[in-house]
Amino acid sequence: MLKRAIALGSSTAVVAALLTGVLGGPASADSGCPTPSSSLGGGGGVANPYLISSKEDLQEFKDKTSGTDYWKDDVYVEMTANIDMGGCVWSTAIAKTTAYYGKFEGNGFTISGLSVNDTTGPQYVGLFGYAGREAEISNLTFTGNVTGGSSNNVGGLIGGAFNDSAYRNLHVSGTVSGGQYVGGLIGYANTKGVITGSSASGDVTGTGDDVGGLLGYLQNTTATVSNTFATGDVQGASNVGGLVGRYSSGSIATSYASGAVTASSNGGGLVGGNSTATVTNSYWDTDVSVATSRGGTGKTTAELQDISTFSTWSIASGYDASSTWGICSAVNDGFPFLTGAYSADPCSSGGGSGGGGGSLPTSYTLTLEPAEGSICTVASVSGPVNTWVSLPPATSCRPIDDNSQAVLLGWATVRGFPVEIAQRQIDFGMGAYELTDDSGAITGVFIPSGGSAFIVAPNRLYAVWSEPLVVEEVESPESQSVPPVIDAVPA
């Protein structure tokens, strides 16, 4: 029987974030991140953009806080490959204190293995902190968790979006938490531009008002949101929506939300609070969420998995790149998916693994690090996004030293998880266990052998043993030593 691991005293959203291995550590400095490259390739022009080709380049792009050459008006930046940040935790977003005004082209690639944990406040937490003045961010997938503490303007991709900025074909997979104005994609958007062809999956939690699965608060008379969806559960105080927490004006079209909504007031399956926004051809799932919404039409789960519901949309049965949407049972739990997120047919291939060219991952792998001095029969576990996967039992690993009495206790999201805490958890038998620092920030989670972890991003788990492992050094006998090399003189 699968043992579901639950961290003590944590919300479901926090548990999901921690068990992936991309949890937020202390917010004072980046943790486990690469050394930035000295500079980005290219020159920043439209014909010669700056190039992000490695994790070192992405770190350089983010760390460029004093000189804003990479971020200013009419500067072009492009990704050239998928980038795995290897468990890096950023303590601040790209452009937290200086706005991003440039043009960022993801070229359909994915940033993974990264989380953003900034609980220092007061605002602007996400992959990007805030952007405006005709900034454009396009064709990018980000898999990772964003933790803002009590900060406002917190988003999976962008904390705050302003002016004439535009956002196209963006996809976020991971949990997002913060104070007020919290969204799976964008926390606060006061933009005259467009938000289109984009999605967010993963739970979104806010301690304050205006919390949405995709957008927390959208405030502009000319803003348009179209061809978007959100699948995570959403929780907040007031003005909480499956897609948009609060919308003052503008328009929402051809969009849907399939997650549950929990609010103290003004909770809506699609939109929580809405003044004058026009909502057309948009839906929410009444089987899992609240019965009402400030806009949109409620549908059952079965109806949202039926192509006939979306007869006014550009949608194909299966995958057709010429259509905006596709629908099949193998992708997105049978709900509609955006074809722009895929470079190949995900209905026949199961969605692929997220390789370049824009394929949106539907499954991820947790790599298991056995520790020096041990041998394990299982190197990794995989599963669909947003599911629980079983971890190997204690018998899957053994010490190299046959005389060692060490036992595999389980797996942790960080190296060097204290054995005494892991052992205590094994004794109590209470599921996963949190490790916190002096400030109370959660810095690691331990999961007992045979427990389970929640998949929202590719990452690593590290073995925790009951006692230190010994690596024996075997000396070669003198008879087996390598003879000296003697220069031979040809006859």
Question: Are residues 288 and 402 both part of a single domain?
Answer: no
Q: Is-contact 4 67, C-beta < 8 A?
A: no
What number of CA atoms fall less than 13 Å from residue 450's CA on the CB side? 11
Q: Quick one: pLDDT at residue 236? A: 96
Question: Are residues 402 and 296 both part of a single domain?
Answer: no
Question: Are residues 324 and 385 both part of a single domain?
Answer: no
Please choose, from the candidates 183, 129, 193, 181, the residue with its C-alpha nearest in 3D space to the C-alpha of residue 152: 181
Six token digits for residue 1? 């029987």
Q: Quick one: pLDDT at residue 349? A: 59
Q: What is the pTM of this model?
A: 0.71
Question: Are residues 400 and 329 both part of a single domain?
Answer: no
The string of pLDDT tens digits covering residues 399-438 is 998 889 999 999 888 778 888 877 777 766 555 666 766 6
Identify whether 195 is part of a domain: yes
Largest Cα–Cα separation, the chain: 99
Please give the tally of structural domains in the chain. 2
Q: Quick one: pLDDT at residue 266? A: 94
Identify whether 334 is part of a domain: yes
Q: Quick one: pLDDT at residue 378? A: 87
Quote the CA–CA distance of 259 and 112 in Å, as a whole number.
Answer: 23
Q: Quick one: pLDDT at residue 298? A: 97
From residue 440, alpha-carbon distances to 13, 416, 434, 435, 436 in Å are 17, 18, 10, 9, 5
CATH code, domain with 204 = 2.160.20.110
Question: Are residues 282 and 373 both part of a single domain?
Answer: no
Residue type, 475: E
Question: Are residues 326 and 377 both part of a single domain?
Answer: no
From residue 166, alpha-carbon distances to 131, 158, 286 in Å are 10, 12, 31
The string of pLDDT tens digits covering residues 287-299 is 999 999 999 999 9
Quote the CA–CA distance of 82 and 108 in Å, as a whole number.
Answer: 9
Residue ending a domain, choose from 349, 376, 395: 349
**Which domain range does residue 398 map to?**
363-465
15-32 burial: b if 16+ Cβ within 10 Å, else e: bbbbbbbbbbbbbeebbb
What dihedral angle (degrees, nearest 10) is formed by the CA atoms of 382, 229, 122, 443?
-10
Question: Are residues 157 and 286 both part of a single domain?
Answer: yes
Q: Point out the residues of the chain with pLDDT beneath 70.
A: 1-28, 65-68, 221, 349-363, 385-387, 427-434, 436-443, 456-458, 471-491
Q: Is-contact 466 419, C-beta < 8 A?
A: yes
Question: Are residues 381 and 334 both part of a single domain?
Answer: no
Residue ending a domain, choose from 349, 375, 397: 349
